[in-house]
Amino acid sequence: MNLKKNRAGFTMVELIIVIAIIAILAGIVFVAINPAKRFGEARDSRRWTDVSNLLDAILKYQVDNGGNLPVGVPAADGLNYLIGNGDCVIAGVTCNEGATILTGCKNLTEVTVPPTSIVPDYIGSIPTDLKGGTAAQTLYYISRSTADRITIGACTPEYTKPISVTR
């Protein structure tokens, strides 16, 4: 009598080897992708969008209001100001983008006469940085050069340095 065992499936050793190979490949892929860096780059992309949208809103306001700038835009002194609401203080805020030194705060949400303001007429809200920005301290800055060019920048870029737009 010929008894032949009908073996179907895999042995435990074969399964462990396959699982180990998959784990090693997953580890290699995870290190190659580097999710922390990808998240930082995504936040930098958001910062680029925020500074561009905010500057566009200021310039559209200026066009619609006969060349007048919103109340919160600083004088043409070339100094950098932290953007925030009326509770803004620069104490404890560092702007690590190069040598950016903040000299005060500017509130871009004030209503002017005629009753228009940047928010909500030109932008839904003043953007805040994704890593610690608040309405009082957005971690974005604004300056106006003596040549009357406005710059909006981000204080805390992660991988793209600097993040600022001038027009």
| Mean predicted confidence (pLDDT) in 106-110 | 90
The pLDDT tens digits of the residues spanning 23-77 come to: 999 999 888 889 889 999 999 999 999 999 999 999 999 999 899 999 889 999 9
The whole-chain average pLDDT of the chain stands at 89
Query: CA-CA distance, 162 to 140, in Å (whole number)?
Result: 12
Query: CA-CA distance, 95 to 116, in Å (whole number)?
Result: 30
Q: Return the domain boundaries, the chain.
A: 33-166
* Per-residue CA distances from 109 to 49, 102, 156 (Å): 19, 19, 22
Query: CA-CA distance, 54 to 121, in Å (whole number)?
Result: 12
Residue 6: is its pLDDT beyond 70?
no
Single pTM value for the model:
0.81
Token couple for 138? 């957005």
Residue 98 has a pLDDT of 64
| Mean predicted confidence (pLDDT) in 80-101 | 81
Query: CA-CA distance, 36 to 125, in Å (whole number)?
Result: 28
Residue 100 has a pLDDT of 76
Residue 17 has a pLDDT of 96
Residue 128: is its pLDDT beyond 90?
yes
At 3, is the pLDDT very low, low, confident or very high (cuts 50, 70, 90)?
Answer: low
Residue 1: is its pLDDT beyond 60?
no
Query: CA-CA distance, 127 to 123, in Å (whole number)?
Result: 9
At which residue do the structure tokens 């180990």 appear?
20
Query: CA-CA distance, 48 to 46, in Å (whole number)?
Result: 5
- For residue 102, how many other CB atoms are within 10 A of its CB? 17
Alpha-carbon dihedral 67, 72, 75, 78, rounded to 10 degrees:
-110
At 15, is the pLDDT very low, low, confident or very high (cuts 50, 70, 90)?
Answer: very high
